[in-house]
Chains A and B, each alone.
Chain A
């Protein structure tokens, strides 16, 4: 078994109005990576390159040890893929789809697990896809994918458009699936709550560039929001770790990158009185990371 489920080295793809630039990414086998980015960041393009559905201009793509796109058949045999824009055949029933996928994957299909998923997702096998709600269609797609026990799950915005109940059902099932430590998962979302809930590794992507890729705890530990009282209304002296300052008179809210307690000493040395020091949510960290990267790029600095 390969050490990495996914390895991307220097992957680029140029479009007339968008470019994916020099993406380097590694998902260890058994890892769960959340790919976060705003709409149009390049998440879907990157995922499609991994699936062999879009060709890269440059770089190496290895999935489950197989080179993509040449060995995509071998790789996709062990990949379960679901995306927000994926649909099933509307005039066929879920049972027909289950029967068909079971024929395609006779050795991998687990009929008993499929029945269990039918119940936990509250789906009716005899129902035609066109009669299903969006949530039921998404759950049907996940059932077809999960019931063949793929080694790698690649999920592109799997919970987009789901109501809170369906989203919880999907996330609960995902949690159970993720209990299998040999299974690797990459999933993209702009819902940072889902990503924070499921992932152990997080990658931020923006405007076709990889902003950062670290384990979840590193992100949560390295960012802080600090409220301070300043001795005067003058602007605080710039510091490379202070990425955002919102100042109203003597009060200021600071966003601090690569936080360490000695950072507070730097602030007090300027006469500031430290108020609250709070951890940031993944969504706040994502926005801060992206803004920091954009500012650095605009200033011509390589962050």
Chain B
């Protein structure tokens, strides 16, 4: 039985209301991260290296901060602040709650992420100084950050612990540097980074497919883990 859509087990509009609530309550900080993200994209258009590196660091930082903010604020803080009791007193099951949280987080983060990805692609393809071949590396890197976001969301929902979420967040931030180092050392990627046109070769597609598979797996495991819980408060 699909508990997310069956009218006998779902209050119409409640999941949408929960998604809207999370987006409304986090709209201001997300807008701020978006503004800083757009500034970082603007810095990438500078000819000199200084602003370009500053823009790159700022862009990655904003993606990390937006990801952390959403998961902590909508999932673990809701439990710590005891607002979860209020939500779970409404006509909703825990799986529907999980569904609402995943939808709200994906919608909020994906909107931000897509704007940043589109902006990066726009900068790469519009700036003569930046080789178009970098688009493949940037896409894979941003997808890694999306996958990490989904992992954090799953950890937050399943562990219900701010501490564990922050531990995994710290580890994945260290992992980002290692991932960037590894990716730039993969010959099939590295050799085309300075190319005039992006080269979407088998290696690039394999890494992208692995990232997408990881995202699906993390989402599946989150739903599975939540469905096995007996106690929700």
Contact = CB atoms under 8 A, between A and B. Distances in A.
Interface of A: 48, 51-55, 69, 71-77, 79, 81-83, 85-92, 100, 103-104, 141, 145
B233 A48 contact: yes
Given A55-B230, A104-B14, A85 B82 contact: yes
A89 B92 contact: no
Interface size on B, as a range, is 20 to 34
Contacts of A71: 9
Contact of A87 (B13, B83, B230): B83
27 contacts: A53-B233, A54-B233, A55-B230, A73-B8, A73-B9, A73-B10, A73-B91, A73-B93, A73-B96, A74-B9, A74-B91, A75-B91, A76-B91, A77-B11, A79-B89, A83-B85, A85-B85, A86-B82, A86-B85, A86-B89, A87-B82, A88-B86, A89-B81, A90-B81, A103-B13, A104-B17, A141-B86
Interface of B: 8-11, 13-14, 17, 21, 25, 81-83, 85-86, 88-93, 96, 230-233
A53 B94 CA distance: 8
B92 A88 contact: no
B76 to A, nearest CB: 15
Given A53-B88, A54-B231, A86-B82, 17 more contacts: A53-B232, A54-B232, A55-B230, A71-B9, A72-B93, A73-B10, A74-B9, A75-B91, A77-B91, A83-B85, A87-B82, A88-B86, A89-B25, A89-B83, A103-B13, A104-B17, A141-B86
B90 A55 contact: no
A104 B13 contact: yes
A100 B96 CA distance: 18
Contacts of B9: 71, 73-74
Given A54-B233, A141-B86, A91 B93 contact: no
Nearest to B8: A74
A121 to B, nearest CB: 17
Nearest to A83: B85
Contacts of A87: 81-83, 85-86
Contacts of B17: 100, 103-104
Nearest to A73: B91
B97 to A, nearest CB: 11
Contact of B92 (A48, A54, A73, A141): A73
A55 B93 CA distance: 12
Nearest to A57: B230
A82 B90 CA distance: 11
A79 B90 CA distance: 8
Contacts of B232: 53-54
- DSSP class of B's interface residues: helix, strand, loop or mixed? loop
Nearest to A71: B9
Contacts of A82: 89
B10 A51 contact: no
B79 to A, nearest CB: 11
Given A74-B8, A100-B17, A54 B89 contact: no
A297 B71 CA distance: 49
A85 B84 CA distance: 10
Nearest to A91: B25
A242 B11 CA distance: 54
A145 B230 CA distance: 25
A48 B93 CA distance: 13
Contact of B89 (A81, A90, A91): A81
Contacts of A54: 230-233
Given A73-B10, A87-B81, A51 B91 contact: no
Contacts of B21: 100
A148 B1 CA distance: 29
Given A88-B86, A90-B81, A92-B25, A104 B11 contact: yes
Contacts of A53: 88, 231-233
A259 to B, nearest CB: 41
A128 to B, nearest CB: 12
Contacts of B93: 52, 69, 72-73
Nearest to A69: B93
A294 B13 CA distance: 49
Contacts of B8: 73-74
A37 B89 CA distance: 22
Q: Which 6 A-B pairs have the closest CB atoms?
A: A55-B230, A81-B89, A86-B85, A76-B91, A87-B82, A77-B91
Nearest to A75: B91
A47 to B, nearest CB: 10
B197 to A, nearest CB: 48
